[in-house]
A and B are shown apart, each in its own frame.
Chain A
Amino acid sequence: MLLCDEVQLLRKLPYFAEVDTCKLKLLAFASERVTFKAGQRLFTQGDAGDSAYFILSGSVEFLVSTPDGPVKVSERGPNSIVGDISLLCDGPRSSTVQAAGVVEALKINKDYLFRIMDDCPGMTMKMTRAIAERLRLTSSELDQVRALQKA
């Protein structure tokens, strides 16, 4: 996959929808291409986060550790970004992410991402909106779960 294809894919993310092509290209260029084999971990729950991964191909599983061992909570396919939350709020990783099959991803470094955000004022707003959307979805899911538990 070439640099320009990566840029095309990045653009499909709501985060980057309105960012200059130049800047996206810069972000893609500054990011490293990594490959994971099935079962290899992108990151582990509790680790400090220093990068996010943009999945180019393959799919990844989200695992959360419970007293009975890790439990798979969700799965994400190509053209999605994982690990972005702990990037933005400096906390530890909230779950473990591992490759379901062969996964190709773009490793986006936290410092580089921040630099590019600094240069694009509009981007911060976009990201905030995207995250708020995620938060809305998550809380409505949580509410449903709670309602189910009570019922």
Chain B
Amino acid sequence: MQKTLLRYIWTHTRPQQVFILLIVALSMIPYFLAFDLPKQIINGPIQGQGFEDLSTTQNFLDFSISIPFVDYTFGFDGFPLDRMQTLVALSSVFLLLVIINGAFKYYINTYKGRLGERLLRRIRFELVDRVLRFPPRHAKSLNGAEIASMIKDEVEPFGGFTGDAFVQPALLGGQALAALFFIILQNFWLGMVAAFMVAIQVIIIPKMRRRLIELGRQRQITARRLAGKVNEVVEGLGTIHAYDTSNFERADVASRLGEIYRIRYDLYQWKFLVKFLNNFLSQVTPFLFYLIGGYLTLRGTLDVGQLVAVINAYKDLPGPLKELIDWDQARQDVQVKYEQVFENFEVEDLINPAIHTLTPASTQQKLETLHAVSVSLNDDSGAKVVDHVTLKIDRGETVAMVDHTGRGAEAMAEAFGRLSWPSSGRICLGDQDIRELPESVTGRHISYVSTDSYFFHGSLKDNLLYGLKHAPVKRHEYEGKDMRQRLWEIREAKKAGNPHLDIRAGWVDYSYAALGNGAKEDLQKSLLAALDAVQLTDDVLELALHSTINPDEDPEFATRVVEMRRALRARMNELGMESLVIPFEPDGYNSQATVAENLLFGATLAPLTPDNELLSSEHFYTALNKVGLQRPFVEMGRTVARNLVEIFGGLPADHPFFRQVTTLSAEDISYYQSLLQRKNEPKPVNFRLSSADKAFIRLTLEYIEPRYRLGILTTELQNKIVGSRELFYTELPAHLRELIERYDPDKYVSVATLRENIVFGKLSNSNADGVVELRTLAGAVSRELGFANQLLKAGLDYDIGAGGRRLTPIQRRKLNLARALIRRSDYYVFNKPLPGLERHTQEEIVQNVLAFLGQQENDPAVIWVLSNISLSRLFDKVVMFDGGAILEEGSYETLEQESGTFKALVA
């Protein structure tokens, strides 16, 4: 990148800058013509100069140009027009010039804007590109939010400046020089006075602005640090709460804001001081003219006409001069910003762009060995963690690396994964240093997994397939309007120096899937197998069952869910287990469901809290009245309230039973208590229900007989509720009906989760092992129907949140491992990928992974850094590090027999 912004702009926009300069010069012609015209209109047709006689005509648009030396003259005699006609003609010309000037201005501004935006795009891309090429060591010390703030906010003014970078000084400089020249022509000495004052302004003001620029720089850095700090606070929210350090963070942020305030206030003071001085200097010049010019006139050395001419000419000088000085300030401002940003991105040892070249199909050459030759590694503090280690890994070998003391094995794995670069020695794939091989070779032949994992915002599937997106492999076909749009995108990308790879193309390269040979089904097979290997399948299913889907988006899947629902019910009937789930039936009361669910016979989007739209609407209670349930519900609610008050009334407000065994809180209980104590509530006018009655009805709506066991829901009442379902629904106005999605045994319920849709009923309490039995049964049925795979697919669409934070840490570790297993590599480097997992699970997963990789045709090698040394018996070879050097190397059996240290560690 160039050292100064001006040079950067010039390098990338030279032809456009010259072009726009020419256009600006061209636009000056109509601009000055328009200046002169009013004078002509007033003097000519209005005041009558040249039209002394009524019948006089003047030639309009006459001109003659003679070319010197060749004695050739050409011209046009013009149209003869009388006074009125001339007025109209000249005014029309004026209007025409206004339009032309406007058009020029429009064109120039758009052009400059486009120029700026393209440059902005270029510079932003270049910065991100550099981030992608930062060497690993540098990447560790970066703060993401600060980098983001630089790329997003700090470069923003560059775009605005680009258009003016060269045009503005050329234009304004020209204007100022012209004005100065004109003054000198009028009177040399007064011209010199003006020139002197200009020189003072041009020299002093920028000097004073230097402090402004320094302050601007500080402001930029503190603002960037603030962005970094805010990011830290957001990321570390859990830690902050855990250690009660929120006030420390508050103090930190407040002090930073104070610092920013100080800088900004200082900035204001200086800015307006400079402005004041600037204004003063430009006003002093006329003062000098009046004083010196007046003195000279009185002495008789200058005539009055000249003085007036000079003062008039001076009027045109301060304007351009001021703008020129402003431009200079803008230049210095963006220059400082540019240097600031530039410094952060100008890193030694940037990865050579050739290493990142896009290579669609890798030459699947057989690279026989991974070789570490006398490798030494330093950690970030500079201490040596690996000391001249030579190690050879053959294809098909499984190697366990363990540490006795130190962290040599881990560091070595990092080096194999290219996460750290050796301070001496080299690591070779075949016979080439992996640092010189392009990433299209190393990144595909070696899969590295460590404790740290990063997930991108998106679905589980996106993240699982992330390691297969090396290059666009399947073109996206465009048609018609989209095609034009795409061509425009390509053109613009080229103009701004961006690559024009298509993000909408298919990037997932099936041929790199772990199993099979490149068909789409193979990818799915690999994906499912990898999930199984890391024991993530059940979690994914669980995620799917918890999720809600929009049946309109995937009607086929919704139909399958309903099929599954029917199959499950049929199976329960077959096995005589129909009492496991009490289904929702249009003409039956579901004893395990609430009264509300039974009455509405449907699901509501929002839970039925007092401020729910449905319950706060008067129509709801009117409809209850219509079906004759209002009174019984109030009475029933009163009984429930009496019982609840009796049970919970004596408990302190912070008792855990509130919210735990009842949905009510202590305040709710005391509210009901007060309602029960009130006597003879005055009836509200117009037959509306009192709020007390509404509150009782709400209690009734939540009532479930087997849960409360108060014996108040008689069969009669149950039948009445079931019988009023239809009428009640039709009595509700349309906008309330929309809030309820009614149950239909043959339809998918979009507001319910997949699990609720499949079960479509309530688990009965008649069987204590109901949940387990239902799960086993549903699992068996869904496998038979082939529904399990579809369910898994729905689970794979689960959005894992920023950085995968919607998953549990264990799930993230497993996902991290599965992501590597899905891609076919020759070498898998696992650097303690499963911390925090139970020993037992760890062992199972290690076994699964080794078996999974063992069935791959390309015979991959596995390097696994183990935290649990006893697992090394599962590997062909064990390499034990001690203090950064290899202590022992050999098969598990040999080491166990021969090495005392190893034996002690395993035991």
Contacts and interface: CB of A to CB of B under 8 A. Distances in A.
Interface of A: 1-3, 6, 22, 25-26, 28-30, 32-37, 40, 42, 107, 112, 115, 119
Nearest to A23: B650
A112 B706 CA distance: 19
Contacts of B646: 22, 25
Given A1-B709, A2-B711, A22-B650, A30 B768 contact: no
Contact of B768 (A1, A6, A22, A40): A40
A93 to B, nearest CB: 15
Given A26-B647, A107-B768, 14 more contacts: A2-B710, A3-B708, A22-B647, A28-B709, A30-B661, A34-B768, A35-B765, A35-B766, A37-B767, A40-B767, A40-B768, A42-B768, A112-B661, A115-B657
Contact of A29 (B661, B766, B768): B661
18 contacts: A2-B711, A3-B643, A6-B709, A25-B646, A25-B647, A26-B651, A29-B647, A29-B661, A29-B708, A32-B765, A33-B706, A33-B709, A34-B765, A34-B768, A40-B769, A42-B768, A107-B768, A112-B661
B765 A33 contact: yes
B466 interface: no
Contacts of A1: 709
A134 B902 CA distance: 54
A3 B769 contact: no
B656 interface: yes
Given A34-B765, A35-B767, A115 B709 contact: no
Contacts of B765: 32-35
Contacts of A34: 765, 768
Nearest to A104: B766
Contacts of A28: 709
A112 B709 contact: no
A32 to B, nearest CB: 7
A2 B657 contact: no
Given A1-B709, A2-B711, A3-B709, A36 B768 contact: yes
B648 interface: yes
Interface string B612-650: 000000000000000000000000000000010011111
A42 B767 CA distance: 11
Given A3-B708, A22-B650, A112 B657 contact: yes
Interface in B755-772: 765-769
B767 A26 contact: no
A115 B768 contact: no
Interface in B699-716: 706, 708-711
Contacts of B649: 22
A25 B647 CA distance: 6
Contacts of A36: 767-768
Interface of B is mostly: loop
A35 B770 CA distance: 10
A34 B648 CA distance: 23
Interface residues of B, number: 21
B160 to A, nearest CB: 64
Contact of A26 (B657, B709, B710, B768): B657
Nearest to B705: A2
The 10 closest A-B pairs by CB, nearest first: A3-B709, A34-B768, A2-B711, A30-B661, A35-B766, A26-B647, A25-B647, A2-B709, A36-B768, A29-B647
B710 A3 contact: yes
B709 to A, nearest CB: 4
A109 to B, nearest CB: 9
Interface string B181-201: 000000000000000000000
A26 B711 contact: no
Nearest to B661: A30
A29 B660 CA distance: 12
B547 to A, nearest CB: 28
Contacts of B711: 2-3
Contacts of B655: 115
Interface string B749-787: 000000000000000011111000000000000000000
Contact of B656 (A35, A107, A115): A115
Nearest to A31: B661
Nearest to B766: A35
Contacts of A40: 767-769
A29 B655 CA distance: 15
Nearest to B649: A22
A106 to B, nearest CB: 10
A22 B657 CA distance: 14
Nearest to A109: B661
Contacts of B648: 26
A36 B765 CA distance: 9
A2 B650 CA distance: 22
A29 B647 CA distance: 8
A127 to B, nearest CB: 20
Contacts of B647: 22, 25-26, 29
A112 to B, nearest CB: 7
Nearest to A105: B768
A25 B645 CA distance: 11
A22 B644 CA distance: 10
B768 A35 contact: yes
B98 to A, nearest CB: 85
A37 B579 CA distance: 12
A32 B764 CA distance: 12
A5 B724 CA distance: 32
A31 B649 CA distance: 18
A7 to B, nearest CB: 10
Contacts of B768: 34-36, 40, 42, 107
Contacts of A112: 657, 661
A37 B710 CA distance: 25
Q: Which of A6, A26, A112 has most chain B Cβ within 10 Å?
A: A26
Contacts of B766: 35
Interface string B511-554: 00000000000000000000000000000000000000000000
Contacts of A2: 709-711
A33 B766 CA distance: 9
A30 B709 contact: no
Contacts of A32: 765
Nearest to A26: B647
A140 B765 CA distance: 40
A40 B711 CA distance: 28
A3 to B, nearest CB: 4
Nearest to A24: B647
A105 to B, nearest CB: 8
Nearest to A28: B709
B672 to A, nearest CB: 15
Nearest to B768: A34
A88 B719 CA distance: 45
